[in-house]
């Protein structure tokens, strides 16, 4: 039974006295015992969604402020990428980064970048923005903006979240679960994968054919 998208804090605080951490499976899945079920949490998916939500919240305060680069940075582009860049220049410079093109139009010179993006791989950002603009050429500015920020936030979260197979101490696990309680919608990662799955007694009885 996949857990519905509800309030993570409510789930854990409501059952704080009965919910018990019992171990980790394959250094990836955190197991919590309930009265008649086991909650299995994907540590990467949960932390990924936390980081995604945190990024999206912070970018609201930082996206309109730009960081001027100390040194100009050059990035090579293909012909179709240059066309997309020039076509959307005003939109890109308003929301993401300010740039100029070299005379041969084969390289982009990055001058300023949104504070929300300053700690993310710039080559990846540039490619991600251009590819999204090319793919969503006929969409509205609002739709493009939403999809670009979503993809950047999801990329940032995936790269920086706790990985599957990464060993965590019990204190780190409890800290992760406690942190998740500060967010309302963390039962699915930014890519749509569930971060929590519940295995109950009814499912086990069916598996072991006890009801037949």
Q: Is 133 exposed, middle or buried (0-12, 13-18, 19+ CB in 10 A)?
A: buried
pLDDT at 138: 86
Q: Which among 87, 92, 103 is positioned nearest to 125, based on CA atoms?
A: 92
pLDDT at 6: 46
Residue 2 in this model has a pLDDT that exceeds 50: no
Tokens of 133: 């603009």
The CA distances from residue 10 to 51, 129, 181, in Å, are: 20, 37, 8
Q: Is 74 exposed, middle or buried (0-12, 13-18, 19+ CB in 10 A)?
A: exposed
pLDDT, average across residues 75-102: 90
Q: Between 172 and 64, whose confidence is greater?
A: 172
pLDDT at 7: 61
Report pLDDT digits (tens) over 44-58. Answer: 999 999 999 999 988
pTM check: above 0.75: yes
Mean residue pLDDT across the chain: 88
For the ranges 39-43, 47-51, 142-146, 208-212, the lowest mean pLDDT is seen at 208-212
Gyration radius from the chain CA atoms: 22
Q: Between 12 and 169, whose confidence is greater?
A: 169
Spatial separation of the C-alpha atoms in residues 23 and 31, rounded to whole Å? 5
Tokens of 168: 């965590």
Band (15; pLDDT cuts 50, 70, 90): low
Band (16; pLDDT cuts 50, 70, 90): low
Q: Other CB atoms closer than 10 Å to residue 115's CB: what's the count?
A: 16
pLDDT at 34: 86
Report pLDDT digits (tens) over 56-75. Answer: 988 887 767 898 998 888 99
Provide the percentage of residues in the chain whose pLDDT is more than 70: 91
Are the beta carbons of 114 and 121 closer than 8 angstroms?
no
The CA distances from residue 206 to 198, 201, 210, in Å, are: 15, 9, 6
The CA distances from residue 93 to 126, 127, 129, 174, 186, in Å, are: 12, 15, 12, 42, 32
Residue 1 in this model has a pLDDT that exceeds 60: no
């Amino acid at each position: 039974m996949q857990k519905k998208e509800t309030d993570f804090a409510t789930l854990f605080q409501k059952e704080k006295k009965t919910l018990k951490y019992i171990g980790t499976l394959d250094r990836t899945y955190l197991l919590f015992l309930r009265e008649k079920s086991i909650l299995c949490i994907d540590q990467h998916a949960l932390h990924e969604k936390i980081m995604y939500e945190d990024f999206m919240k912070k970018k609201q305060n930082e996206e309109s402020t730009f960081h001027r680069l100390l040194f100009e940075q050059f990035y090579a582009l293909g012909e179709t990428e240059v066309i997309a860049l020039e076509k959307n220049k005003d939109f890109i410079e308003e929301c993401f980064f300010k740039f100029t093109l070299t005379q041969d139009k084969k390289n982009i010179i990055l001058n300023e970048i949104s504070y929300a993006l300053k700690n993310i791989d710039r080559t990846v950002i540039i490619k991600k923005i251009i590819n999204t603009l090319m793919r969503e050429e006929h969409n509205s500015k609002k739709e493009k903006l939403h999809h670009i920020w979503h993809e950047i936030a999801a990329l940032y979260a995936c790269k920086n979240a706790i990985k599957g197979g990464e060993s965590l101490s019990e204190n780190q696990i409890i800290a992760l679960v406690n942190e998740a309680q500060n967010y309302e919608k963390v039962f699915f990662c930014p890519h749509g994968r569930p971060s929590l799955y519940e295995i109950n007694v009814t499912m086990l009885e069916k598996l072991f054919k006890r009801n037949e």
